[in-house]
Structure formats: structure tokens, C-alpha cells
Chain A
């Protein structure tokens, strides 16, 4: 019963040059009975390698475009496949698949269009975040507020849940990492109802190596600013 009820839930995993951790992540999601859409964002070696024998939807960008672009491709595909609910999920194993059941339960109640994962709603979760990362994320919160007007506790958390209606209205044009802020702008623009939910982020050496650096955050900010001015 659980499995069938999740067959219209599509988990979208953007990935680029992932290790075998991807296989682990995908397997955990498949175990929940979700449809899994792996969007290989032009990896050097096709990510198909890690999906052998797993019943996933596999899409591949022939050129690397960025995480935002990969998410949008996955959403377009999932919507075309008749998705009722969509989950954004990171490939690097930092998210807890255990959170998805609760997210779906909330979305199915119909009071919320978008659920945004946050590391900082729960003290125990927050303590797991390295301090340098915390500083960076604080900056992200302020920047996102400046651009979108939404004040959240964690703006750069890749775990999100969307209803079909929400996914249809959100259009990401920021190909790079500035999509995290753009998605908030879209939420605001389309007047979608959103809520943050506490999630644990598992910091492994691998997920930290795949994460965003301090230097790149400057690029993200410049991107946001210029793109806003030069549509």
C-alpha cells in the first residue's frame, strides 16, 4: 500500500561526477517506493555506471550546465511523467531519506505547496554543522532575504518537497548554485505556501568535498546580482 501510494512521487537527484555514494542514495530512495530521476549533469564518466540494475529514470545533459539546470530538467521530466509530488534530493548522501515520509504526509494534507529542509530548526541538527559552513549559510540567508524577501533559517538546503502545482509554477533559469535563492523568489512570485521542516544533514568527508566553498559563494552572489539587473 505504501509502495503504490508513492509511485507518483518523483525524487529528483541532480548529480555531477559522483562516486558510488550515488548508488547508495538511489537505493535508499527506491526502497521507499519512489520514482527516482537521476539527472546526470554532463559528468566526465556517465553516471549510468552507478545505476546498473536499479530501476531509475536516467537523464543526461550532454554538457555540464549546473545544479539548477539539472533540477529543472528533472522537474520537467517528472511533470511530464505525471508526478503528483516532487522531492529534490542531493546525490552526495547528506540527506536523510527518513525525512521523506513525513514530508509527503505534510504535503498530502494540502496546506503547503513547498517544503524546505532546514538544518537549523533543531538544536541537535544545527550542532552537526561545521562552523565555517554555518558562517557561509548565514550569508546565504541574508542574501536570499535581500533577493526574495523570505527570511528562512536555512536557504541552501538541497532537500525540498513540492506539490505538482508548485513545480508547475517554479521555473529555474539560474543554472548554477544561485538557483537556491531563485527558487525562493519563485515561491514568492507565485505566492506558494511554504514551510521549513527540520532535517539532519549528514556531513561526511565526501559530502563536504562536494559542497560549496567560500570562494564560490562570491560568484553566486555576483551571478544573482547581475542576472537580476540584466534579464
Chain B
């Protein structure tokens, strides 16, 4: 096992533990499964490469790169939409307040 593998596995375990600490049971199970999956692919990179070959990609690293690009982009769009929805709610709230507190000066 190389040093980077050790480092990555430690990060994965600590990260999962950190988030699982206060989460509900269902989240804990999901997190634990994800963590195991991560550890598995870090510990046995040849298996990632096998999956990559199966999909027609040369290296496991490249497969991961492609997948993370897609999920990353998707996440950004989702977050953008979420921000926009929040902005809309905020606007409605502030507008209602402004109208309620409208003053007629003389």
C-alpha cells in the first residue's frame, strides 16, 4: 500500500465519521456504504481500471476524472437553481414587508 492510499483512506474514514456523527440512521448506513466503496477503489486501483476498460476508457483515473466532471457540473447547476429559488423566496418576503410598512409622507 502506498502513502497516498493510506492518506486517502484516512480522509475517507474521518470524513464519513465526521458527517455520520449527528446524522440519522439511514444517512449513517448510506455514508458507511459510500465510504466502504471509496476505500475499496483506493485500496484496489486495478479494479477501477478494470471497470474503466469495460467502459472503453484507458485508465481508472481518467474514468474518475470524467465522472467527477459530470457530477461536479451537475452539482453546480443544482446549487444555482437552489440559490435562485432562495432568492425568489427572499424577494417575496422582503416585498411583502416593504408594502406592509409603506409610509405615506405629507
Specify which of B77, B81, B87, B102 is in contact with A57 (CB 8 Å cutoff).
Answer: B102
Q: Are B103 and A62 in touch, CB under 8 angstroms?
A: no
B106 within 8 A of A: yes
User: Chain B interface residue count: which class?
Assistant: 10 to 19
Specify which of B77, B80, B90, B102 is in contact with A59 (CB 8 Å cutoff).
Answer: B102
A50-82 toward B: CB 8 Å interface, digit per residue (1/0)? 011111111111110100010011001100100
Q: How far is the CA of A32 from the CA of B78 in the complex (A)?
A: 49
B interface: dominant SS: helix
Which segment of B12-20, B40-48, B93-101 sits at the interface?
B93-101
Q: How far is the CA of A54 from the CA of B104 in the complex (A)?
A: 10
A227 within 8 A of B: yes
Q: Are A58 and B103 in touch, CB under 8 angstroms?
A: yes
Q: Are B81 and A73 in touch, CB under 8 angstroms?
A: no
Q: How far is the CA of A80 from the CA of B95 in the complex (A)?
A: 13
**Which residues in B have their C-beta under 8 angstroms from that of A54?**
105
Specify which of A56, A62, A69 is in contact with B97 (CB 8 Å cutoff).
Answer: A62
Q: How far is the CA of A87 from the CA of B58 in the complex (A)?
A: 64
B53 within 8 A of A: no
A70 to chain B, nearest CB (A): 9
Q: Are B106 and A59 in touch, CB under 8 angstroms?
A: no
A183 within 8 A of B: no
Give the residue name and chain of the B residue nearest to A64 (CB). Answer: B94
7 A-B pairs with least C-beta separation: A59-B98, A230-B81, A73-B95, A58-B103, A59-B102, A55-B106, A61-B94
**Residues on A facing B (Cβ under 8 Å):** 39, 51-63, 65, 69, 72-73, 76-77, 80, 173, 175, 226-227, 230
